[in-house]
């Protein structure tokens, strides 16, 4: 089992390596792949030193699985080249997510759809993954009609440059700006670029990917906000159902769903927060309450580490399905 991690020197790539180790992924050979600027760089992983190689060399090595986290342009150019060699590509960018010929996979929800013919598999957007993890069991039980989601997204979703911007601002240092505005002590109501309809790409990812993963008939509207947080993404979610629900039944259903941790005891100040989710693979849900303004509608709060289940962990879970096959 030869595995390549493409983008191994990046923020998500480094977390992918952590998750591969934690989950004791059964590779026999590991290739660490990055851009030409990083080729030859030495990385120590699991007590062994690796030399970073370029994409062309990685394709020639014909790995069994290549986990990509190197940006959409890189994925569009190189994923097909790996696939031509018979490599299964698991791509963390947005490049292939809405391609009707490619599957968009959250293993707990639709991992069973994967077949031996799937050579390029899309990993959903980080904010989508934590949302659909909670929506999926509720949709099966009550039928989700409409979702209104407001996100509070960690700067780690932007990358290392954004983390450096926050650290510089807090230290009073002038430096490169990942955002147009300061992020410390601020909220920026823009994640990714604006589209013609006035929504950002991030907001439309939540809409379109949720439909593709769960049900095209679910209506989703989103507002995505960048906040000065490092530990993970948070989401305030309002869900309207076809059928009514019992709150205790909702809590029981979510608590029994693999990959979800219920933290819903406001009397004792128990609710999900990014500080608690950081470094963990589960999706945390709490603040569960009925929307008293209209029928069959629920409010809840979802938090997850966007670099773990929102990216690296989900990709490695997909890889484990491929490896087992």
Beta-ladder partners of 261: 284
The active-site residue out of 139, 187, 191, 233 is: 233
Residues with Cβ < 8 Å from 246, sequence gap 6 or more? none
Which tokens hold the place of 61? 């090595």
Spatial separation of the C-alpha atoms in residues 63 and 5, rounded to whole Å: 10
Contact 130, 153 (CB under 8 A): no
Which of 180, 174, 185 lies closest to 158 in space, CA to CA?
180
Is residue 233 flagged as an active site residue? yes
Which of 281, 293, 288, 234 lies closest to 16 in space, CA to CA?
281
Spatial separation of the C-alpha atoms in residues 31 and 166, rounded to whole Å: 32
The secondary structure element, H or E, covering residue 286 is strand 283-290
The active-site residue out of 126, 139, 187, 191 is: 126
Which tokens hold the place of 279? 């470094």
Which of 197, 214, 201, 196 lies closest to 157 in space, CA to CA?
201
Active-site positions? 126, 233
């Amino acid at each position: 089992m030869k595995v390549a991690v493409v983008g191994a020197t990046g923020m998500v790539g480094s977390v992918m390596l952590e998750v591969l180790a934690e989950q004791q992924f059964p590779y026999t050979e590991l290739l660490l792949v990055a851009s030409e600027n990083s080729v030859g760089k030495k990385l120590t992983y699991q007590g062994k030193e690796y030399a970073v190689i370029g994409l062309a060399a990685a394709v020639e090595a014909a790995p069994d699985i290549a986990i990509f986290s190197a940006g959409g342009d890189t994925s569009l150019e190189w994923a097909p080249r790996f696939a031509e060699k018979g490599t299964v590509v698991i791509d963390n960018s947005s490049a292939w997510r809405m391609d009707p010929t490619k599957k968009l996979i959250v293993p707990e929800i639709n991992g069973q759809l994967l077949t031996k013919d799937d050579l390029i598999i899309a990993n959903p957007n980080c904010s989508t993954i934590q949302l659909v993890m909670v929506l999926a069991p509720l949709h099966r039980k009550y039928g989700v009609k409409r979702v209104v989601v407001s996100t509070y997204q960690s700067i780690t979703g932007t990358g290392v440059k954004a983390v450096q911007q926050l650290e510089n601002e807090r230290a009073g240092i002038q430096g490169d700006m990942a955002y147009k505005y300061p992020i410390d002590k601020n909220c920026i109501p823009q994640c990714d670029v604006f589209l013609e309809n006035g929504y950002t790409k991030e907001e439309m990812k939540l809409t379109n990917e949720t439909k593709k993963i769960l049900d095209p008939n679910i209506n989703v509207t989103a507002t995505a906000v960048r906040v000065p947080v490092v530990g993970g993404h948070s989401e305030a979610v309002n869900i309207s159902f076809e059928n009514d629900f019992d709150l205790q039944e909702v809590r029981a259903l979510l608590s029994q769903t693999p990959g979800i941790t219920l933290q819903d005891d406001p009397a004792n100040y128990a609710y999900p927060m990014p500080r608690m989710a950081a470094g963990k693979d589960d999706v945390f849900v709490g603040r569960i309450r009925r929307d008293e303004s209209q029928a069959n509608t629920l409010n809840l709060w979802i938090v997850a580490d966007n670099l773990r289940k929102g990216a690296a962990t989900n990709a490695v879970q997909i890889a484990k399905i491929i490896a087992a096959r």
